[in-house]
DNA sequence: TTGTACGCGTTATCAG
DNA sequence: CTGATAACGCGTACAA
């Protein structure tokens, strides 16, 4: 069923049908009604792709993230998808993994689809390979980078003050009389580096020497959190508080403390990052740094649609994280 | 940059360029190389939408689910997206909510996009409104229904024996000397009804009367799980075990038991459903019925792509659930 | 108020 | 081996 079929049935030309569909003026009311009736009767729907071919847009938005299964990204994706759809766009979500080749592959794929704009989520994408891929393949469409930065003319950035946030986490622990604090988690992404920077800065501010800081590196899994925490208990009995780079890792840590019979928060204070549901599910519930993922999602989606539709916005927006205190501090 | 631009640069016709792009035979090797070089130089990528217009496909697959934030659906979506992309398709994920109007809206949207196939995830979609929408708008494309059934010629179904699974959960609890068992959770979706049916059947098999069964209805949230469990403790002190219709609800229940000082599993046994990470995060970790969401995901994705590409499969596939025992039983 | 003709970027057919 | 040409479904100047 095409506009030609409808046109024939209505005894008019295809352009008339097109005009009716798009609510253009200058159509006799009786014609309009006749065509509308036919459109309904055959429940005709315009082919959005064919439309895009002539309109030079696809109403498609690419969403690149490493892995949608990480809870904070799931929430973000949900918010973004809802917003986009409300504005008449469809999101194409790509699990681009954490290897640069996969990321480049994802970029090429979105180029093939001629998406109107791209949302990149997660600082793991903040590397030269991806930056080059973007300036090469997305040169003419707006890109919003959530939780990362690219200094490119068509890229908007929405970031969170994770560095400051972690500093405030340290402040909180100190205030709770926990002077010996460790940092445990992933260290490889730019985001992790920001968190670590905040940790170091605050700890040094409280008189610790950088060399003496207890920093454990692991992966983004609860198993890794468990393992790092066991190591911590064995090798650093002086530690009174831990900041984990992600809630999921903290959840693993909480279990290790639980199994070891460590009393939370009396013997050990714990803070996670992301403020996902994991913090609420743990026993006891743990404090987490809310890095405003849902707020970031709505800002990013809004800015992207604005850019696609020609409305301007600041190239960089900074959100402020918040500590959500629970039983672990 | 179009094939015409490349053609001009190469001094050949657009058809030749097209043939090179699609690796068609019957092109002089020197011509092929010359064109390929240009393609690379200008990093040209064919417009997939324009391609689809003539090929009568879009390489787009619609994925309808109520809410991607429910953990079991997130995992499923991940697996599906990976598979689809590997096969050259893109997934359009729609959070279609749980209201029928929203669902119908999602169906219309996917029709506009001319998706090659649709994956419907979750038994909440198993209602007449959606069924009608499908037979009206997706009459000519394959549809796979994960965790639900429609008796329509173009719909494939992948389901899990949740009814049997819950029966086996009851068996397990009985075997653990827990004779007084309650069921708590959502009751509105067909899937929930299946679970409830299994519960009733097993309980009656063990000599209980249907009227005396303890069944609590709530929502799919940990808060609801918490509340139902408090109610349970107050009004049904005889209960020794609970089966929750979802892990998330069970997680709320676990917290209620924890707060009330109820010893798990000695005083109370707990089983959730979905085998998500929530079971592993709770303290103690709780047993869960694995309803094979990732297996369902790969089967559904495979069947859908098969159908889109003209390969046949059984119209209905049943997977078998498994109890993953943890500390709560 | 309506129809004709063309173009969007691509592939397929057919002729050369 | 290669090039015209038509077609996919739609929107829009331009003409009537």
Looking at the complex, report in whole angstroms how far the Cα of residue B50 sits from the nearest Cα belonging to chain A.
7
- 3-class DSSP state of A32: helix
The mean pLDDT of A166-179, rounded to a whole number, is 98
- Name the burial class of residue A56, with classes exposed (0-12), middle (13-18) and buried (19+) by CB atoms within 10 angstroms of its CB: exposed
Protein CA at B169 to nucleotide C1' at D15, angstroms: 76
Report yes or no: A112 at the B interface, CB cutoff 8 Å: yes
Closest CA to B160 of B113, B205, B131, B194: B194
B29: nt with nearest C1' to CA: D1
Which tokens in the block code for residue B216?
A: 């609590």
Give pTM, 2 decimals. 0.96
Q: Which residues of A touch B46 (CB under 8 A)?
A: 112
Q: Which residues of A touch B258 (CB under 8 A)?
A: 283
Nearest residue, CA→C1' of C2: A16
Which tokens in the block code for residue A244?
A: 């984990």
Which tokens in the block code for residue A282?
A: 């743990």
Which tokens in the block code for residue A72?
A: 């904070």
Shortest CA distance from B94: residue in chain A: A81
CB atoms B43 and A282 under 8 Å: no
Protein CA at A318 to nucleotide C1' at D8, angstroms: 46
Tokens 């009767």, located at residue: A41
The mean pLDDT of A91-102, rounded to a whole number, is 97
> Is there a common fold for A58-161+293-321 and A162-290?
yes
Report yes or no: B255 at the A interface, CB cutoff 8 Å: yes
Which tokens in the block code for residue A99?
A: 């290897």
- 3-class DSSP state of A268: coil
pLDDT value of position A177:
97
Q: Which residues of A touch B78 (CB under 8 A)?
A: 67-69, 95
**Cβ partners under 8 Å of residue A148, min gap 6:** A120, A122, A123, A125, A126, A157, A159, A190, A191
Q: Which residues of B touch A111 (CB under 8 A)?
A: 45
Report yes or no: B28 at the A interface, CB cutoff 8 Å: no
Q: Chains A and B: how many Cβ contacts under 8 Å?
A: 105
Nearest to A67 among B78, B90, B94 (CB): B78
Q: Which residues of A touch B111 (CB under 8 A)?
A: 45
The helix (H) or strand (E) run that includes residue A244 is strand A241-244
The mean pLDDT of A52-75, rounded to a whole number, is 97
Neighbours of A26 (CB within 10 A): 5
- 3-class DSSP state of A48: helix
The helix (H) or strand (E) run that includes residue A76 is helix A71-86
Per CATH, the homologous superfamily of domain A3-46 is lambda repressor-like DNA-binding domains (1.10.260.40)
- Strand D nucleotides in reach of protein CB atoms, 7 A cut-off: 1-5, 7-13
A26: nt with nearest C1' to CA: C1
Shortest CA distance from A58: residue in chain B: B49
Which tokens in the block code for residue B148?
A: 């639900």
From first CA to last CA, the distance across chain A in angstroms is: 64
Shortest CA distance from A82: residue in chain B: B95
- 3-class DSSP state of B142: coil
**Cβ partners under 8 Å of residue A46, min gap 6:** A3, A21, B112
Summarize chain B as % helix, strand, coil (round to 5).
50, 15, 35
Closest CA to A163 of A191, A193, A194: A194
Rounded to whole angstroms, the Cα distance separating A289 from A243 reads 10
Looking at the complex, report in whole angstroms how far the Cα of residue B264 sits from the nearest Cα belonging to chain A.
14
Which residues between 147 and 176 in chain A have a beta carbon less than 8 angstroms from any beta carbon of chain B? Answer: none
Nearest residue, CA→C1' of C10: B51
Protein CA at B53 to nucleotide C1' at D4, angstroms: 21
Rounded to whole angstroms, the Cα distance separating A9 from A16 reads 12
pLDDT value of position B96:
97
- CATH, domain range B58-161+293-321: 3.40.50.2300
Closest CA to A134 of A148, B240, A95: A148
Rounded to whole angstroms, the Cα distance separating A131 from A65 reads 15
Protein CA at A131 to nucleotide C1' at D2, angstroms: 40
Length of chain A: 329
Nearest to B90 among A47, A49, A92 (CB): A92
pLDDT value of position B165:
98
Shortest CA distance from B283: residue in chain A: A283
Q: Which residues of chain B have pLDDT under 50?
A: none
pLDDT value of position B125:
98
Which tokens in the block code for residue B117?
A: 């196939």
Q: Which residues of B touch A92 (CB under 8 A)?
A: 90-92
Protein CA at A93 to nucleotide C1' at C7, angstroms: 32
Rounded to whole angstroms, the Cα distance separating A181 from A179 reads 6
Tokens 């002077």, located at residue: A179
CB atoms A69 and B52 under 8 Å: no
pLDDT value of position A193:
98
Protein CA at A2 to nucleotide C1' at C2, angstroms: 19
Looking at the complex, report in whole angstroms how far the Cα of residue B158 sits from the nearest Cα belonging to chain A.
22
Which CATH class, in words, describes the domain spanning B162-290? Answer: alpha beta
Per-residue pLDDT band for A47 (boundaries 50, 70, 90) equals very high
Report yes or no: A281 at the B interface, CB cutoff 8 Å: yes
List B323's β-bridge partners, or say none: B289
Residue in B283, B286, B293 to test binding to A, most A beta-carbons within 10 Å: B283
**Cβ partners under 8 Å of residue B19, min gap 6:** B26, B27
Task: Using the CB atoms, write b or e for A121-132: b if 16+ within 10 Å.
Answer: bbbbbbbeebbe
User: Which tens digits make up the pLDDT trace of A216-243?
Assistant: 999 999 999 999 999 999 999 999 999 9
Nearest residue, CA→C1' of D5: B15
Rounded to whole angstroms, the Cα distance separating A94 from A78 reads 14
Q: Which backbone phi and psi does A214 adopt, to 5 degrees?
A: -95, 110
- Name the burial class of residue B15, with classes exposed (0-12), middle (13-18) and buried (19+) by CB atoms within 10 angstroms of its CB: exposed
CB atoms A74 and B67 under 8 Å: no
Report yes or no: A91 at the B interface, CB cutoff 8 Å: yes
Mean of pLDDT over chain A:
97
CB atoms B67 and A78 under 8 Å: yes
Report yes or no: A320 at the B interface, CB cutoff 8 Å: no
Q: How many Cα atoms within 13 Å fall on the side-chain side of residue B212? A: 11
Report yes or no: A67 at the B interface, CB cutoff 8 Å: yes
pLDDT value of position A291:
96
CB atoms A92 and B92 under 8 Å: yes
Closest CA to B232 of B189, B163, B180: B180
pLDDT value of position A200:
98
pLDDT value of position B156:
98
pLDDT value of position B6:
97
What share of chain A has pLDDT > 90, as a percent? 100
Per-residue pLDDT band for A168 (boundaries 50, 70, 90) equals very high
CB atoms A90 and B95 under 8 Å: no
DSSP A90: E
Closest CA to B1 of A119, A139, A117, A101: A139
Instruction: Please state the domain extents for chain B.
Output: 3-46, 58-161+293-321, 162-290
CB atoms B222 and A280 under 8 Å: yes
Residues 34-53 of B with CB under 7 A from strand C: 45-47, 50-51, 53
């Amino acid at each position: 069923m095409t506009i030609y079929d409808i046109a024939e049935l209505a005894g008019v030309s295809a352009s008339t049908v097109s005009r009716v569909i798009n609510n253009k003026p200058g159509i006799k009311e009786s014609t309009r009604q006749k065509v509308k009736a036919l459109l309904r009767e055959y429940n005709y729907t315009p082919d959005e792709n064919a439309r895009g071919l002539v309109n030079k847009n696809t109403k498609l938005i690419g969403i690149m993230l490493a892995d949608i299964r990480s809870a904070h990204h799931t929430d973000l994706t949900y918010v973004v998808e809802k917003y986009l759809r409300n504005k008449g766009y469809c999101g194409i979500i790509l699990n681009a993994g954490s290897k640069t080749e996969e990321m480049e592959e994802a970029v090429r794929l979105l180029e093939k689809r001629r998406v109107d704009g791209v949302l990149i989520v997660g600082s793991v994408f903040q590397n030269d390979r991806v930056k080059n891929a973007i300036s090469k393949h997305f040169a003419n469409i707006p890109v919003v980078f959530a939780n990362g930065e690219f200094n490119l003319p068509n890229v908007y950035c929405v970031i969170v003050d994770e560095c400051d946030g972690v500093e405030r986490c340290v402040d909180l622990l100190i205030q709770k009389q926990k002077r010996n604090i460790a940092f445990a988690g992933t260290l490889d992404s730019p985001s992790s580096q920001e968190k670590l920077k905040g940790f170091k800065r605050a700890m040094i501010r409280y008189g610790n020497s950088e060399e003496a800081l207890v920093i454990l590196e692991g992966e983004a899994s609860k198993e890794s959190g468990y393992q790092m925490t066991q190591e911590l208990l064995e090798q650093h009995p002086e530690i009174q508080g831990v900041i984990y780079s992600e809630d999921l890792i903290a959840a693993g840590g909480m279990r290790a403390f639980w199994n070891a019979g460590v009393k939370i928060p009396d013997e050990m204070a714990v803070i996670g990052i992301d403020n996902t549901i994991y913090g609420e599910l743990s026993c006891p519930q743990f404090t987490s740094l809310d890095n405003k993922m849902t707020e970031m999602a709505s800002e990013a989606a809004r800015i992207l649609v604005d850019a696609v539709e020609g409305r301007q916005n600041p190239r960089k927006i900074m959100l402020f994280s918040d500590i959500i205190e629970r039983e672990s501090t």
